[in-house]
Structure 1
Amino acid sequence: MIIEQVREQMQEATRPVVKILKQGDGYKVITIGLKKEAVLKEHKTAVPATLVILEGKVLYNEAERSVELKKDAEFEIPVNVLHGLLAVEDSICLLIQG
């Protein structure tokens, strides 16, 4: 139901919609919904993380590179590296931390 809620809230959202899908000892799975042209501002992660694109297309940005990620793509986000996302299309992603 969480992914469905994110999809519904995206329709009216002016910024990313972020909800925890599941968490436990040492891990967290987060659902991120981004409307086309929405930006997830730059930040760092202190733990290993993998971004999985369920729907749409996003541009992952670091200082030295940009990577276009489409539906079904998996991407390892480096620890302690400043990065952000730009939605090229309406997109739903899973962020797996830990």
Structure 2
Amino acid sequence: MIIQDVVKALENSAAPVVKVLTKGAAGKVLVLGFKKGMVLKEHQTGVNTRLVVIDGKINYFSTKGTLTMNKFDELDIPVNEPHSVEALEDSICFLIQV
């Protein structure tokens, strides 16, 4: 019940909640939960990553500009690209890393 755990943890959190949904030799899937207005500060990933919005609406910020992502939108995040995320609504996202 990882996704439900993220939603419950958000009730009392001042920051985005991140939990591992599954992990294996080939990669892992993370669940990210946001309340409206929460920001995941600028960071980079060292592995191939796909961001998928499962529910809600977010802004993805990178050196290329701002991309507004809605429910079921997906984006491949370039390796070593500085980026951040802001929730425009309560949101749940998956990060798929391989």
Count of paired positions: 98
TM-score norm. by structure 2 comes to 0.97
1:91 corresponds in structure 2 to: 91
Q: Which residue of 1 aligns with 2:16?
A: 16
Quote the residue 1:49 is aligned against.
Answer: 49
Q: Equivalent residue for 2:78?
A: 78
Task: Please report how far the alpha carbon of residue 22 of structure 1 lies from its aligned counterpart in structure 2 after TM superposition.
Answer: 0.2
CA distance in 2, matches of 1:97, 1:63: 21
- Structure 1: state its 5+ residue gaps: none
Q: Distance in 1 between matches of 2:18 and 2:37?
A: 16
Same amino acid, percent of matched pairs: 44
1:38 aligns with 2:38: yes
Q: Matches of 2:39 and 2:79 in 1, distance apart?
A: 20
Structure 2 unmatched runs, 5+:
none
CA RMSD of aligned residues (A): 0.7
Q: TM-score, normalised by structure 1?
A: 0.97
Aligned to 2:2: 2
Matched, 1:61 2:43: no
Tell me, in whole angstroms, the C-alpha distance in 2 between the residues paired with 1:11 and 1:55: 16
Structure 2 Cα separation of the partners of residues 26 and 77 of structure 1: 18
1:38-97 CA-partner distances (Å, limit 9, x unpaired): 000111111110001011000000123110000011111011100010000000000000
Counterparts of 1:50 and 1:18 in 2: how far apart (Å)?
15
Q: Report how far residue 15 of structure 1 moved.
A: 0.1
